[in-house]
Amino acid sequence: MKTIRTLGLALILAVFALFISLLFMGQYKLTNQAFEDFRTQKNIASPLFSETLKNKVVDQEFSTPFFLANSIAKAVESANETHKKNKEWSMVIWEKPHSLAYQMVKSSGTGFVVQNKILLWFLSFGLAIFGALLFMLPAIQLKGPPGIKNNHIFHSSATNRGWIAWFVFAFLISFYLVLYFRPSYMVNWIYLVDPISESLSGNPASQWFLYGFLYCIIMSVMAVRMYIKYRHNKYQVLRTTSVLFFQIVFAFLIPEILVRFEKPWYDFKNAFPLDYDFFFRWNLNELLESGGFGLFILVWGVLLTLVVVPVMVYFFGKRWYCSWVCGCGGLAETLGDPYRQLSSKSLFSWKVERWLVHGVLVFALLMTGLTLYGYFSEAYEVFGIKVQTLQDIYGFLIGSIFAGVIGTGFYPIFGNRVWCRFGCPLAAYMGVIQRFKSRFRITTNGGQCISCGNCSTYCEQGIDVRAYAQKGENIVRASCVGCGICSAVCPRGVLKLENGPEEGRIGSSDVLLGNEMNLMDQLHDK
């Protein structure tokens, strides 16, 4: 079995090397005809942009996408600078430079990668999946009888901030930065998923399709690890299956299929304010222009936020979304499971968490309020602030940097729920409801607690669970996502996830501790 694991690991490393090398393969040639067609399609009227590209890149061959992409982006920036200075607004190219560069680079690809998409898909994604399964499946026998085992987790370089963890950290950060800000650099990766995208939506793949596809693949593969590790725990198996279903079906497949039928791309499980651009002008216009179906999406989005979310939190707590539905939580619970013990339990982290996550929520609400006011009043400025500027700032800082780069990239160093703890506005919204108006709590049996500390160690939200368990107090915290790991790792069955009446939920101590009573008096009474 160990030999099979070693072969699996070797295969993963070989595929990873191939995957990285794909970035530097292929040929790129932007023909004059293709350039003119693209310029006409995008209504680009700038003669400076056209002249610069024709002199530098048009009808020339390149072995990597990097020079071509940078040349196009610089040409856009240079032309726009001149046109804005001369107030030639009709000639300004309003599309983001690297977004335009990505589109032109992708259309100019030729050579080995473009001609062998399916083959390279199997040599990269296919073999990576096979290697991961070879590495994980032997754990069924190697780990022995069912039961959660975290042996040597603090001795491994991969799970205790060693060099492997720092390498994964650097790779994930780099991947997200390139994905968000330089998508033209990864066009060869995007080519590989073109056939899948075309079969679903009828369109070639974008960098976001690649991201969604990788998201689903990684969650599915790492879910196998979850099934093996937690195979004795029905709750963990159920919630893992649930997040897989909602991510693959609702967040990936349905939106792409909607596009095929010329409907708006929409994730029906993504509630505002996590879906922060739902009330942006461009989205509202797109929904209203889509007729009855667009109006249905608009109504559903409002009801999901104002009715469905509060009602579900009341009955089941945040766990109904954060642990059963949310794709961010699903990735954190699968890919991020080996890192949950790294979540900081310090008082300082808790204070930062409270201020930061609720600050993001307040900013999201203010931004949305100003956006809606600007939309209905047809004003592009509110109190001297450009609505678009607010949206750009939020999208960049929260949607890109915090949710993407930091949210996932920081797993190996800071734990698997960085985004959920410190940045998710929906988590903050649900947390307020869960804390003050919910039936959900984690009950404790203080008389059975042996103070082993497993519960606190593996709490991904940084909650000192042991402190509650020792006192026999219900755990009622706004940050708790109801993952149930604290209960699963408890050797004495002290902790239970329950939905009960609100009375006695906060400050309750149903279990009498030894120092709160005289046992001899109890004996004599009987």
**Furthest-apart CA pair in the chain: how many Å?**
100
The pLDDT > 90 percentage for the chain reads: 73
Q: Which residues of 317-348 are buried (b: 16+ CB within 10 A; e: fewer)?
A: bbbbbbbbbbbbbbbbbbbbbbbbbbbebeee
Q: Which residue has the tokens 């409801």?
A: 433
Residue 140 clears pLDDT 90, i.e. is over it: no
Token pair 């201020």 in the structure block, residue:
355
CA 212 to chain centroid, in Å, comes to 10
Q: What is the pLDDT of residue 522?
A: 54
Q: How many CB atoms lie within 10 A of CB 355?
A: 11
Question: H or E element: which one contains 71?
Answer: helix 65-85
Domain 439-515 has CATH 3.30.70.20: yes
Structure tokens at 164: 């492997």
Range in 10-14, 19-23, 118-122, 404-408 the model is least confident about: 404-408
Helix, strand, or coil here: 57? coil
400: Cβ contacts below 8 Å, ≥ 6 apart? 180, 181
On the question of pLDDT at 519 being above 70, the answer is no
pLDDT tens digits along 309-366:
999 999 999 999 999 999 999 999 999 999 999 999 999 999 999 999 999 999 889 8
- Report, as an integer, the average pLDDT of 80-101: 91
Cβ neighbour number for residue 371 with a 10 Å cutoff: 24
Query: Of 49, 57, 67, nearest to 32 (Cα)?
Result: 57
Domain boundaries, the chain: 27-110, 439-515
Q: Say which residue the tokens 């930062």 belong to.
A: 352
What is the predicted pLDDT for the residue at 525?
Answer: 60
Residue 501, preceding peptide bond in cis (omega within 30° of 0)? no
Please, are residues 104 and 58 in contact by the beta-carbon 8 Å criterion?
A: no
Tokens of 401: 């940097």
pTM: 0.91
Instruction: Tell whether the model's pLDDT for residue 492 goes beyond 80.
Output: yes
Average pLDDT over the chain, rounded to whole? 90
pLDDT at 526: 52
pLDDT in tens, 232-286: 999 999 999 999 999 999 999 999 999 999 999 999 999 998 888 898 888 899 9
State the Cα–Cα distance between residues 270 and 212, nearest whole angstrom. 14
**pLDDT reported for residue 445:** 87
Residue with tokens 């890919």: 335
In degrees, rounded to 5, the angle at the alpha carbon of residue 289 between the alpha carbons of residues 287 and 293 is: 55
Angle at 298 between CA 289 and CA 100, to 5 degrees: 55
Give the ranges where 61-162 is alpha helix by DSSP (H): 65-85, 97-107, 112-115, 117-121, 127-136, 139-142
Tell me what pLDDT residue 516 has: 54
Instruction: Return the axis-axis angle of helices 281-289 and 347-377, rounded to nearest 10°.
Output: 50
pLDDT tens for each residue of 8-22: 999 999 999 999 999
